[in-house]
Amino acid sequence: MAIPYVMPKLAMAMNEGTINEWLVQEGDFVAKAQPLASIETEKVAYDVESPEEGYIRFVAQPGDIVPCGELVATFCESEAELAEISAAAPIVGATLANTAATEDALATASAAAVPASAAPAPGVTASSAGGRIIASPLAKKIAADNALDLRTLAGSGPQGRIVKRDVLAALERGVPAAAPFASGAARELARIPMAGMRKTIAGRMTQSLQSTAQLSSGWESDITDLLAARKKFVSREQQLGTRVSVNAFIVKAMVYAIRRVPIANSCQEGDDIVIYDNINMGVAVSLPGVSEYDSGLVVAVLRNVERMGLVDIDREMKALVERVRNGQGTADDLSGATITLSSTAGIAPPGLMSTPVLNLPNAALVGPSTAVEKAVVRDGELVVRTMMPVSFTFDHRMLDGEPAARFMNALHEALENPELMLA
């Protein structure tokens, strides 16, 4: 008897997943716990194991976005059952890595089973058949690499899908990369799909701004003494096993400030404001996007930082960021933040004061930026000090101006007097 395999729910906030890659071939016998597929949730890709054993038939294909609980594959008890199910409902999906041979074979088999009314008429392109370009990931990649406009092509795959052979044939025919442009008209350099991570980021940023009463304030903190304190740790790098970063000091300073103004470490749950005792520090991490022109962003979570010393914070934070950037982050690594640190230091121009967007459902976010040496007055004398811009974004529904000001003052105090945070 065939056993359905549905899109698994890999995280509490997951509503849908993308099949990045099947790790087995169509029709293979798959053992239980064998690596089955790479599935991308909103910001993380997981290699999932097979929950069953049997001969596999794909329903979803690489690139498909499938809601949790909907069918993506079927396990069959025998090859005969696989053949029977496939004959009744022909395979439409691609297989492992969308390789050329597999894609062509499946497209040919599927095209034969698709009713004539479902495929576009000869000469009708994907764009004229419905507006949305329907193409396999491999076809899209080859087209992008060769600056080929998929809107000029007609697909020979199932239901007019553009597959690899369509793109290669177009390149051989010398189909123009794009429609000619009038003199002075805008010319595309790249087109980035608003999908996957980019779609998630866009949705969350919009939701954050539309659903909260955000306010950003900024100031400069003199971190000259902080940098001097850091040098002492850096000089012991070999002994400590890590080169302590400025961000580790900032995390400690945030812990100092939270202990004095606990409501900054809070989140909204329904009609309640939940103030947390432990501090799970969300750390904004930049990731590569879908192309050289794009970028990604996730918030990795360093848990219980209030229990950690400066060196432990530095080690754990670096290990966390490395896991996430290498695609090895877990659901726990990317959920449960109670406050967020989003640093642009070393990336933004010196002295930049920003207005970072809240990481929902957190009530607060600290955004330090690139420090710069400035002439400032200290004890009536003009001296050169290293000044770091700091932004504080908070949800005015949860934090009024008075506690927000007290938090900023406590954070400023710790940054300018590192002995306070290290006591």
> Is the pLDDT assigned to residue 8 strictly greater than 70?
yes
- Cα separations (Å) of 292 from 32, 288, 331? 38, 8, 26
Within this chain, do residues 283 and 144 fall inside the same structural domain, yes or no?
no
Give the pLDDT confidence score for residue 108 in this predicted structure: 42
Around Cβ 56, how many Cβ atoms within 10 Å?
25
Within this chain, do residues 349 and 265 fall inside the same structural domain, yes or no?
yes
> Is the pLDDT assigned to residue 179 strictly greater than 70?
no
Tokens of 25: 């071939």
Q: What percent of the chain has pLDDT over 90?
A: 53
The pTM (predicted TM-score) of the whole model is: 0.66
pLDDT in tens, 288-343: 766 677 788 899 999 999 999 999 999 999 999 999 988 888 888 999 999 999 99
Question: What residues form DSSP beta bridges with 336?
Answer: none
The Cα–Cα gap between 261 and 398 comes to 12
Is the bond preceding residue 288 a cis peptide, omega within 30 degrees? no
Tokens of 227: 């940098």
Around Cβ 392, how many Cβ atoms within 10 Å?
25
* Residue with more model confidence, 152 or 408: 408
In-domain check, residue 359? yes
Surface-to-core class of residue 302, CB atoms within 10 Å of its CB (0-12 exposed, 13-18 middle, 19+ buried): buried
CATH number at residue 139: 4.10.320.10
Within this chain, do residues 206 and 69 fall inside the same structural domain, yes or no?
no
Within this chain, do residues 372 and 247 fall inside the same structural domain, yes or no?
yes
Most confident region among 66-70, 75-79, 137-141, 315-319 by mean pLDDT: 315-319
Phi, psi values for residue 417, rounded to 5°: -130, 75
- Cα separations (Å) of 98 from 4, 23, 102, 249, 296? 23, 11, 7, 47, 24
Within this chain, do residues 168 and 200 fall inside the same structural domain, yes or no?
no
Rounded to the nearest 5 degrees, what angle is found at the Cα of 280, between the Cα atoms of 288 and 354? 55
In-domain check, residue 181? no
CATH number at residue 217: 3.30.559.10
Domain end: 46, 73, 89, which one?
89
In-domain check, residue 315? yes
In-domain check, residue 292? yes
> Is the pLDDT assigned to residue 6 strictly greater than 70?
yes
In-domain check, residue 178? no
In-domain check, residue 101? no
The separation between CA 197 and the C-alpha centre of its own chain, rounded to angstroms, equals: 5
CATH number at residue 72: 2.40.50.100
* Contact in structure between 192 and 289 (CB atoms under 8 Å): yes
In-domain check, residue 234? yes
Within this chain, do residues 167 and 34 fall inside the same structural domain, yes or no?
no
Within this chain, do residues 214 and 273 fall inside the same structural domain, yes or no?
yes
Within this chain, do residues 40 and 164 fall inside the same structural domain, yes or no?
no
Q: Into how many domains does the chain fold?
A: 3
Around Cβ 337, how many Cβ atoms within 10 Å?
24
Around Cβ 412, how many Cβ atoms within 10 Å?
18
Termini Cα distance of the chain: 66
In-domain check, residue 402? yes
Domain that holds residue 135: 116-173
Tokens of 278: 């432990």
Q: Name the residue among 308, 315, 296 with its Cα closest to residue 202.
A: 296
> Is the pLDDT assigned to residue 123 strictly greater than 50?
no
* Residue with more model confidence, 394 or 111: 394
Surface-to-core class of residue 131, CB atoms within 10 Å of its CB (0-12 exposed, 13-18 middle, 19+ buried): exposed
